[in-house]
Amino acid sequence: MRFSDEFLSELRERNEIVDVISSYVDLRVRGANATGLCPFHNEKTPSFTVYVNTQSYYCFGCGSGGDVISFIKNIENLHYSEAVQMLAERSGLPMPADGFDDGVAKMKRRMLDANREAAKFYHSYMMSPEGKTGLDYFLGRGLSPETIRQFGLGYAPDRWDSLVRYLRKKGYTDSELLSADLAYKTKNGGIIDKFRNKAMFPIIDVKGSVIAFGGRALDDSKPKYVNTSDTLVYKKSYNVFALNLAKRGTDRTLILCEGYMDVIAYHQAGFTSAVAGLGTAFTKEQAKLISKYADEVILSYDNDEAGQKAARKAIDILATTPLRIKVARLQGGKDPDEIIKKYGKDKMQQILLSAVGDVEFDLQRAKQGFDLQTSDGKVAYLGQAVEILSKLSNPIQWDVYASKLASELSVSKEAIVTQIEKKAKQKRSREIKDNFAKAATFNDDALGKVNPERQRNLFAAKAEETLIASLLHNPDFYFKIKDKIYEEDFATALNLRIFKLIARNLDENRPVGVTYFFQDLTDEEAGYLVRLESMRDRLGNTVKECLDCINRMKEEKQERENKNPARMSDDEWAKQFRKLSE
Ligand SMILES: [Zn+2]
């Protein structure tokens, strides 16, 4: 829906951007701007910048950018109008009376209802005589009927369209079933169940809604797992399995597992704080979600090379949150299920209690490769250990681990600390260098990605960009230059479109900027525009500068035309022709 400029201005004013972003990102104020670690991509040094003057943000690492509304839209994974509503509520601004478009909200509700019905269908089918195959699968894996009920497990029939027919009868439309990814369209246009002959794990969010399903093949057929794709109500990288049950625990510690069955085995054995990612590598968004409900997380990944590698990756991601990280060493079995079955829950409890910190985990992994009886082995292990410890930012930690290593390998502690310091210093200077290199080259890369014509017309594009940036900061200049510039002076379609948006708003006496172009720009284009706007320091901010840009654009245009008229595209030819006949 369309919001008025007045409403959007008021919304922007009431939701100061640094204030809003601060509750998601740790910002450090630097002059007129604030910087922090980008919440939209994984990084260790801050390239995310918030501009107080223009109330906008831009990330030099991934190119995302926009205003306070875009930020909320992207970080909360909402639709534009939902983000507006959230900010309106946050700041006590009533939504415009001419109606908030709740079509999306309605659709989401229908999808969640359909999912709930589907979960009930799969469960009761499994409990019926016909569904015995499914029930036998879960019982065979050692699950009790109580556990099966608690997790709402089920069985999807080995037929083409049982669920589709069932839900149609309940009044759901085909388009609702397709949007919820419960069914899909075949080549000849029929609609069939997405899950067939699968053991079903409903995925339930913290509010208790069934948002998706994981389906597992009962035998060795491939693929082993079929999962709901991302839908309007489900984004797998943003959700965590069983958090709805685990969040009830009071000790603020969660056990993070690799798969559904690990989680269920833990819960059945009384460890009710187990959760799991959803079939992909663990993500930053999942880490953030977990950190809302816990202070500590114990990783319980499989005891094989693949599991340990996945654990290492998860540690890096978890390290971007305030969570304390520990790693359980699953000795005596490959996964928690096997250990509990073989040795019982007391042994499992012991393993969890003796989980080690992330640094210890890395050191132990490094140690495995070396023979510490030999001097060569010792030296090589020390080299790796120093590498690991140099990533820590806290010198007290250096000291603690250096002491341990010193007594373990009978070498001098001071020597180890000196090595770590040296390594850490090298790392820091390399990081700073990398960042400079990125800042110098990345701008153009990022802009070129959004505006593909830029690279081919670099000089013209730079002139266009300077003109646009200047007009954003000095809207009154527009009236002094508008008679001197024509559409065909532009070399890149995107810059022309942006210029026309600016012209449209100013001609109608309206404000300019991403906030007021929300209907006309994609997320990437909004980021691009903020990037241009942020070049303020490089601008002369004079009318003459704008005129220079226009002249440069005209020169470049001349050049393009002279260069090779024979190769003119049909479009360009048509443009030329229009001009001649005007
Ligand atoms: Zn970023």
The correct CATH number of 104-234 out of 3.40.50.10190, 3.90.980.10, 2.30.30.90, 3.30.70.20 is 3.90.980.10
- How far apart are the CA of 495 and the centre of ligand 1, in A? 23
> Long-range contacts made by residues 552-561, C-beta under 8 angstroms, separation at least 24?
552/459, 552/460, 552/463, 553/460, 553/463, 553/464, 553/467, 553/485, 553/489, 553/490, 553/491, 554/489, 556/457, 556/459, 556/460, 556/463, 556/491, 557/460, 557/488, 557/489, 557/491, 560/457, 560/460, 560/491
pLDDT at 442: 39
- How far apart are the CA of 13 and the centre of ligand 1, in A? 25
Q: List the Cα angle 151/153/158 in 5-degree steps.
A: 170
Q: How far apart are CA 292 and CA 321, in angstroms?
A: 10
- How far apart are the CA of 474 and the centre of ligand 1, in A? 28
Residue 497: Cβ-neighbour burial (10 angstroms; 0-12, 13-18, 19+) = middle
> Long-range contacts made by residues 434-440, C-beta under 8 angstroms, separation at least 24?
434/45, 435/45, 435/47, 438/47, 438/60, 438/61, 439/47, 439/60
Q: Do the strands 48-51 and 33-36 form a parallel or antiparallel pair, or are they unpaired?
A: antiparallel
- How far apart are the CA of 46 and the centre of ligand 1, in A? 9
Structure tokens at 516: 């007021």
- How far apart are the CA of 492 and the centre of ligand 1, in A? 25
- Are 347 and 339 a contacting pair, CB within 8 Å? yes
- How far apart are the CA of 458 and the centre of ligand 1, in A? 25
pLDDT at 580: 43
Task: Check residue 295 and report its DSSP letter.
Answer: S
- How far apart are the CA of 316 and the centre of ligand 1, in A? 17
Q: How far apart are CA 226 and CA 209, in angstroms?
A: 20
Structure tokens at 525: 């284009």
Range(s) within the chain of domains with CATH label 3.90.580.10: 5-90
Radius of gyration of the chain (CA): 29
- How far apart are the CA of 64 and the centre of ligand 1, in A? 6
The one-digit pLDDT tens for each residue of the chain (582 residues) are 678 888 898 898 889 999 999 999 999 987 778 999 999 888 888 889 999 888 999 998 888 999 999 999 988 888 888 899 999 988 888 887 665 445 666 788 899 999 999 999 999 999 999 999 999 999 999 999 999 999 999 999 999 999 999 999 999 999 899 999 999 999 888 999 999 999 999 999 988 899 999 999 998 888 888 999 888 888 888 899 999 998 776 688 999 999 899 999 999 999 999 999 987 789 888 998 898 889 999 999 998 888 888 998 999 889 878 889 999 988 888 889 899 999 999 999 999 998 988 888 888 888 888 888 888 888 899 999 999 898 887 778 888 889 988 888 888 888 888 989 888 888 877 766 655 454 444 356 778 889 999 988 888 998 999 999 999 999 989 999 999 999 999 999 999 999 999 999 999 888 899 999 988 999 889 999 999 988 877 788 888 889 999 999 998 898 888 765 555 555 655 554 454 444
- How far apart are the CA of 537 and the centre of ligand 1, in A? 22
Q: How far apart are CA 6 and CA 262, in angstroms?
A: 53
Q: Which residues contact 493 (CB under 8 A, 6 or more apart)?
A: 453
- How far apart are the CA of 450 and the centre of ligand 1, in A? 15
- How far apart are the CA of 98 and the centre of ligand 1, in A? 36
> Long-range contacts made by residues 77-84, C-beta under 8 angstroms, separation at least 24?
77/235, 77/238, 79/104, 80/518, 81/1, 84/3, 84/8, 84/11
pLDDT at 219: 86
DSSP string, 413-431: HHHHHHHHHHHHHHHHHHH
- How far apart are the CA of 117 and the centre of ligand 1, in A? 39
- How far apart are the CA of 37 and the centre of ligand 1, in A? 8
pLDDT at 443: 54
- How far apart are the CA of 71 and the centre of ligand 1, in A? 12
- How far apart are the CA of 257 and the centre of ligand 1, in A? 28
- How far apart are the CA of 515 and the centre of ligand 1, in A? 20
- How far apart are the CA of 67 and the centre of ligand 1, in A? 15
- How far apart are the CA of 100 and the centre of ligand 1, in A? 31
- How far apart are the CA of 42 and the centre of ligand 1, in A? 7
Label each residue of 29-67 as H, E or C: EECCEEEECCCCCCCCCCCEEEECCCCEEEECCCCCEEE
Cα torsion 564, 566, 568, 574: sign: positive
- How far apart are the CA of 361 and the centre of ligand 1, in A? 29
Range(s) within the chain of domains with CATH label 1.10.860.10: 455-581
- How far apart are the CA of 370 and the centre of ligand 1, in A? 39
- How far apart are the CA of 60 and the centre of ligand 1, in A? 7
Assign residue 178 a region: left if phi > 0, alpha if psi is -120 to 50, beta otherwise? alpha
Range(s) within the chain of domains with CATH label 3.40.1360.10: 247-360
- How far apart are the CA of 30 and the centre of ligand 1, in A? 18
pLDDT at 134: 96
- How far apart are the CA of 49 and the centre of ligand 1, in A? 9
- How far apart are the CA of 145 and the centre of ligand 1, in A? 46
Structure tokens at 173: 């439309």
Structure tokens at 391: 């990533």
- Give the CA count within 13 Å in the CB-facing half-sphere of 193: 23
pLDDT at 10: 85
- How far apart are the CA of 215 and the centre of ligand 1, in A? 34
- How far apart are the CA of 444 and the centre of ligand 1, in A? 16
Question: Residue 191: what are its φ and ψ, rounded to 5°?
Answer: -120, 125
- How far apart are the CA of 83 and the centre of ligand 1, in A? 20
pTM value?
0.60
- How far apart are the CA of 62 and the centre of ligand 1, in A? 4
Neighbours of 419 (CB within 10 A): 19
pLDDT digits (tens, 9 = 90+) for 122-164: 999 999 999 999 999 999 999 999 999 999 999 999 999 999 9
- How far apart are the CA of 75 and the centre of ligand 1, in A? 12
- Please tell me the CATH code under which domain 247-360 is placed: 3.40.1360.10
Q: How far apart are CA 304 and CA 271, in angstroms?
A: 22
Q: How far apart are CA 159 and CA 162, in angstroms?
A: 6
- How far apart are the CA of 47 and the centre of ligand 1, in A? 7
- How far apart are the CA of 36 and the centre of ligand 1, in A? 10
- How far apart are the CA of 63 and the centre of ligand 1, in A? 6
pLDDT at 19: 92
- How far apart are the CA of 338 and the centre of ligand 1, in A? 41
Q: How far apart are CA 262 and CA 223, in angstroms?
A: 19
Q: Is 580 helix (H, G, I), strand (E, B) or coil?
A: helix
Q: Class assignment of domain 5-90?
A: alpha beta
Q: How far apart are CA 392 and CA 45, in angstroms?
A: 14
Largest CA distance in the chain: 90
How far is residue 198 from each of residues 116, 165, 216, 511, measured CA to CA in Å? 17, 18, 5, 56
- Please tell me the CATH code under which domain 455-581 is placed: 1.10.860.10
